[in-house]
Amino acid sequence: MTATPDVSVIMANYNGARYLRPALQSLLRQTLTSWELILVDDASSDESVAVAEQTANGDPRVHIFRQTANSGPAAARNRALDAARGQWIAVFDSDDLMVPQRLQLLLQRARNDEATIVADNLMLFSDSDPDSKPRRYLKNRLGRSPHWVSLAEFINSNWLYARTPDLGYLKPMIRTDVVRRLNARYDEHLRIGEDYNFLARILAHGHQIRLEPSAMYLYRKHSNSISHRMSAADIHALLDADRRFDRQAGLTHEERTALARRRHSLESLLIYDGVISAIKDGAPGRGATMALSEPRIWPLLTRPVASRLKRLGQTLTRETMARIG
């Protein structure tokens, strides 16, 4: 048995062969060398496992586990948690990238500030739009200087019309002894939003996130991402998880108020899903009636139009510039 690594990187993968090689290469290039990777493949039907084995090329720090049946990212991450031996646990998605100094600098930030949870800013980039430029996720005060994030602030970022970008997208590094002591597990009822729920339940025990403003985690946006697809069943699961959390966590008034705001926004999403389903089912009248009776979803209905207009404007601008050039 080798010495205990500083960081256990946990990765859930399902049919991620297209992006897995660059993700693993970015881990292999880390300036911090005392890490292990616990990669749990969730019964992929593509060449994910072969790609991972080829990329690792025998590196003993890389450990690959195969699920016999697809059980969702939460179940895969729980299996990775069980196998982790490091002093810290770092979440890393199989379609993303890390800059070479990331693990070293996060570990340094955590130790210097005596944090039990640390996370950095994200750099968003897209495969689908070759003309788009990578952009920092947090641009407000959270993206300018180190910041402590409480549970109330974390929940308050996680609703539709929040002023702060959703902090549930951050990829934390958590001290392993905290995870073990709390017996923290991912909720396997969730196939989306499981990261937010997992971290919120840890924060409910008095912990805070130490946020490093440097954007060292490269978050890939693409059409196949699970986080971009939410069904009515997903929303119901999130609402159920929030109810369990509210009953079990012993929240303060501020935290419970934030959770109620999040619940209302999820209920709005559920109504919005019903309106869209009615339109797709050839019942626009029923969809219009639902929409008129629920003014809180009107901003959601206008967003797709605004987005299309924005893309059209960008296309016209590029075409105009090309003609001028």
pLDDT in tens, 43-87: 999 999 999 999 999 999 999 999 999 999 999 999 999 999 999
Which is more confidently placed, 189 or 325?
189
What secondary structure, in 3-state letters, does the chain show?
A: CCCCCCEEEEEEECCCHHHHHHHHHHHHCCCCCCEEEEEEECCCCCCHHHHHHHHHCCCCCEEEEECCCCCCHHHHHHHHHHHCCCCEEEECCCCCEECCCHHHHHHHHHHHCCCCEEEEEEEEEECCCCCCCCEECCCCHHHCCCEEECHHHHHHCCCCCCCCCCHHHCCCEEEHHHHHHHCCCCCCCCCCCHHHHHHHHHHCCCCCEEEEEEEEEEEEECCCCHHHCCCHHHHHHHHHHHHHHHHHCCCCHHHHHHHHHHHHHHHHHHHHHHHHHHHHCCCHHHHHHHHHHCHHHHHHHHHHHHHHHHHHHHHHHHHHHHHHC
Structural domains present in the chain: 7-224 (3.90.550.10), 232-324 (no CATH)
pLDDT in tens, 1-25: 568 999 999 999 999 999 999 999 9
Q: Mean pLDDT across the stretch 260-289?
A: 82
Q: What is the pTM of this model?
A: 0.86
User: Is 228's pLDDT higher than 60?
Assistant: no
Mean pLDDT of the chain: 88
Q: Mean pLDDT across the stretch 280-308?
A: 66
pLDDT in tens, 95-149: 999 999 999 999 999 999 999 999 999 999 988 776 778 999 999 889 999 999 9
